[in-house]
Structure 1
Amino acid sequence: MSFPYDDPFWTSAATFLSSHARPVDRVLAPELFWRIVPVVSTYGTTFAPQPPVYDWMVLHKGELELVERQFLTRIAQEAVPVFANEVFVIFADVPDRNLASVRESEHVRAFEEIVKALPPAQAPPVSSAPLVIRNFSAMNSAELREAMNAFWRIGGYEYVTLRDKVYYGEVDTYVDEFIEDARDLEVLDLCCGDGRVIPKLQNARRVIGIDLSDEAVRLANERNSSPNHSFQAMDAEALTFADASFDLVLFVDAIEHVLDAEKVFQEIGRVIRPGGRLFVTVANRASLNQVMTRKMGFPEFKTNYQHIREFDMAETRRLFADAGFSIEREGGLFLFPYWGVPGVDQQVRHIIDHDAEVVELHRLLGRAVGAEHAYCSVVLGRKI
């Protein structure tokens, strides 16, 4: 979901925070504030035996039940409220900000009444989501590796909605359609995660999966026991394989997660044999939902906090060409006209995620609109 730029209470709180918080400041806030500051500690972090010390605490009046009670009571009494509106109160714990207290405002008084009316205690919320969310585009390689290790330790990607399940089924269908037969091929699955795609390549001579995350590689080894499948922790920007080692490279749901896509493509071009094929799925920054967002006057957004960079088809074709590939086939992977569009997404998300007819329509529309404006683009290239 994108930030709710259509909501003046969210945008005024975001504007205040971004105007005053430094990149190194520790921010407690709802998850969506990762789009505003580099690192966000979600409300679940307040349940730690020794909660972190925060420089800024962005408290949503409608989500206070997600905050540990004693912590919330202490903040309400001791920290300085420096911003307040109908939805948010922002407290500061940084004495040198020279910001005036707004404790006497009606919005802070309303906040204090809500805190008093809350039950005295509650169990920590159960969630598989990370408690601390970092914008991956602000990381270096070592930080990215550790962040992905932490992510895989709590289970990695979960495909819980009907949309998720059909989407990844469609990815697999494209693999079948575009690759057709991997018999006797030497295959590299680049940024393989837990090896989800590997079972599609059972008849390959050999499949090697690599991922930056040691934890992902551990899971991939646990879940894939075929003797011709192996997994290694490796940086896609610095592959240790010899030139011309592979007949086929898969780069699925991964280009948006690497720090330097150009460098990765050059490495792919180096390790693939002349005539070898490259299968890539691409998070499309020219997808219809992004076009709608821009037309409505809202900022372009990345699909989630783990995406470092997204690409339109002109940029994708350039990556292929610069690495020495001709493009043989392209396809569209789902069409989500309203996904992430501020003021619209929230109203239709349940239907998009769970309604079988709508999910199937979005699958068919993705194929109809093609690679240019689908949610994701699918591209097959051949090494010249």
Structure 2
Amino acid sequence: MLTVDFDRLGIGPGTRVIDVGCGAGRHSFEAYRRGADIVAFDQDAEELSGVDLMLRAMAEAEEVPAGAAARTVCGDALALPFADGEFDCVIASEILEHIPEDDAAIAELIRVLRPGGTLVVTVPRWLPERVCWALSTEYHSNEGGHVRIYRADELRAKIGGRGVRFAHRHHAHALHAPYWWLKCAVGVRKDDHVLVRAYHRLLVWDMMSGPRTTRLAEKLLDPLVGKSVALYFSKPVVDRVAA
């Protein structure tokens, strides 16, 4: 389940990509399939171990183009261990809402992006997220949980104020918003609840089968209740201050 539009990013053979806060690795795997030189970066060493196993399995199964490269790096998003301008594309999907010092994290994302490169940030959308917070305190008040709810325009201004240019916005995962509302209503840990299990089966079927009916429904609903918002930025080739 991808939140980022890889066709818009233009990721292909030789593109240097870092997936910051990669989690289970979904975006890293897609970048690797497209032939990128991908760094899957996260602070969770145990989860990164699983990502590394999958990347190796993809290579062994010859699911990636010749010349593609992948590695995992464990570290802190507030101090990325990479040089300035090292990457052509920086992906930060669903991580900023977890980080108290989000300004510092944003600065690091932009620092490691090369001039002319693309940054994409995704976060939970304000309205679906606000409903989740209203229905359940447990949803967000836990260690490592969500510490804030972003309005897209505010986040766009926060990131754009650091010298990158806004390029595009879209929403994603409308079918997932009601699932989380349901979980928050019955209890976020009650995965065995009959309604939660039924909706989860629907989502799995949708992701595995990709039927036209649900794809069309989500496309129509994304602008209204898409669970996530994705913001795309480009880093100017000429530094504004220097110019």
Q: Provide the TM-score with structure 1 as the length reference.
A: 0.47
- Note if 1:290 corresponds to 2:130: yes
Letter in structure 1 aligned against 2:10: E
Once the two structures are TM-superposed, the CA of residue 235 in structure 1 deviates from its matched residue by 0.4
Match of 1:188 in 2: 18
Q: Distance in 2 between matches of 1:258 and 1:322?
A: 19
Q: Distance in 2 between matches of 1:290 and 1:362?
A: 24
Match of 2:169 in 1: 330
Once the two structures are TM-superposed, the CA of residue 278 in structure 1 deviates from its matched residue by 1.2
Q: Is the 8 A contact 1:332 1:366 kept in 2?
A: no
- Note if 1:230 corresponds to 2:82: no
Match of 1:321 in 2: 160
Q: Distance in 2 between matches of 1:304 and 1:365?
A: 32
Once the two structures are TM-superposed, the CA of residue 244 in structure 1 deviates from its matched residue by 1.0
Q: Distance in 1 between matches of 2:45 and 2:99?
A: 16
Letter in structure 1 aligned against 2:226: A
Once the two structures are TM-superposed, the CA of residue 275 in structure 1 deviates from its matched residue by 1.6
Identical aligned pairs, as a percentage?
20
Q: Distance in 1 between matches of 2:229 and 2:222?
A: 7
Match of 1:221 in 2: 52
Match of 2:63 in 1: none
Larger relative contact order (Cα-Cα within 8 Å, sequence gap ≥ 6): 2
Match of 1:270 in 2: 111
Q: Is the 8 A contact 1:185 1:206 kept in 2?
A: yes
Once the two structures are TM-superposed, the CA of residue 299 in structure 1 deviates from its matched residue by 7.3
Match of 1:199 in 2: 29
Q: Provide the TM-score with structure 2 as the length reference.
A: 0.70
Once the two structures are TM-superposed, the CA of residue 259 in structure 1 deviates from its matched residue by 3.2
Q: Aligned in 2, Cα 1:213/1:337: closer, same or farther, shift over 3 Å?
A: closer
- Cα deviation per residue 1:198-257 (whole Å; 9 max; x = unaligned)? 221234452112211222333322221257111111101111211111110111232223
Letter in structure 2 aligned against 1:313: A
Q: Is the 8 A contact 2:13 2:37 kept in 1?
A: no
Letter in structure 1 aligned against 2:153: A
Q: Aligned in 2, Cα 1:365/1:379: closer, same or farther, shift over 3 Å?
A: farther
- Structure 2 residue runs of 5 or longer lacking an equivalent are 60-67, 188-192, 237-243
Q: Is the 8 A contact 1:330 1:371 kept in 2?
A: no
Q: Distance in 1 between matches of 2:80 and 2:167?
A: 25
Larger gyration radius, structure 1 or structure 2 = 1
Q: Distance in 2 between matches of 1:347 and 1:271?
A: 46
- The SS at the match of 1:267 is helix
Letter in structure 2 aligned against 1:185: T
Once the two structures are TM-superposed, the CA of residue 355 in structure 1 deviates from its matched residue by 3.2
- The SS at the match of 2:108 is helix
- The SS at the match of 2:78 is coil
- The SS at the match of 1:311 is coil
- Structure 1 residue runs of 5 or longer lacking an equivalent are 1-167
Q: Aligned Cα RMSD in Å? A: 3.4
Q: Aligned in 2, Cα 1:365/1:259: closer, same or farther, shift over 3 Å?
A: farther
Letter in structure 2 aligned against 1:221: D
Work out the number of aligned pairs and report it.
Answer: 210
Q: Distance in 1 between matches of 2:55 and 2:35?
A: 14
- The SS at the match of 1:323 is coil
